Amino acid sequence: MIRVTYLSQEALPLSSDAVLGLLTQCHRNNTDRGLTGMLLFGNGTFLQTLEGEAEVVDGLMEKISRDPRHTGMKVLRREAITERLYSQWSMGFERVTEKTLAEIPSLRNIGLRNFNPEYLSSHGEVIDTLLERHRAPHWDPLIRELDARDKLIAQLRGEIANEHMRSEMAALVLETVIEAAQNGRLDEAHVEICRSTLRSLR
């Protein structure tokens, strides 16, 4: 297996509806292809990490590189792996905002304007910090037996990450519906997406 991490920028400003469409596509395809990973989006910048069988990841990367929704794709890392770091997400998602950065002690002073390919590609530690928060809790089975408290902490971290992901998706759906209502384009598909989001929240 391999893990690939890259940066790119939206070609044109993407509406919430467009981001939701992209994520829906990722969830459907990645589940079928045994891919997992994480997509961060903010300030018009994408930071994505994808993991799975080498030929599947490389094939998708080729496709993504030709996607007109973004530009300036820059691969930061392509590494051989034996274990997944994002096993719980077919494609986890987080919108990066000023608030996201302010909430992370080591990134408090970075500012959203610096969430761009140029800054990020020369600040690997910022990328690691942002991505690390979404990793599946992992611990050695032996240590797990020895320290039940660590196990509980890891479980709680996993649950918090899950809740965070659900609220990210719900926020994106709300933004999409508001956008559609403002443009007078609210239709049955929006109602259906609200229903399915509500089901996932209950």
Ligand X SMILES: Cc1cc2nc3c(=O)[nH]c(=O)nc-3n(C[C@H](O)[C@H](O)[C@H](O)COP(=O)(O)O)c2cc1C
Residues near ligand X (CB under 6 A)? 8, 22, 25-26, 29-30, 46, 48, 50, 60, 63-64, 67, 69-70, 91
In whole angstroms, the minimum distance from the beta carbon of 60 to ligand X comes to 6
In whole angstroms, the minimum distance from the beta carbon of 29 to ligand X comes to 3
Q: Kind and range of the H or E element at 40?
A: strand 36-42
Closer to ligand X by Cβ: residue 29 or 100: 29
Closer to ligand X by Cβ: residue 6 or 110: 6
Strand ranges across the sheet with 45-52: 70-80, 2-10, 45-52, 36-42, 92-95
- Which residues does 98 contact at the CB level (< 8 Å), separation at least 6? 111, 112
In whole angstroms, the minimum distance from the beta carbon of 124 to ligand X comes to 20
Closer to ligand X by Cβ: residue 64 or 173: 64
Closer to ligand X by Cβ: residue 22 or 180: 22
In whole angstroms, the minimum distance from the beta carbon of 156 to ligand X comes to 28
Distances in whole angstroms, Cα of residue 36 to Cα of each of 29, 55, 57, 89, 188: 10, 14, 10, 5, 30
Q: Report whether 176 contacts 190 (CB < 8 A).
A: yes
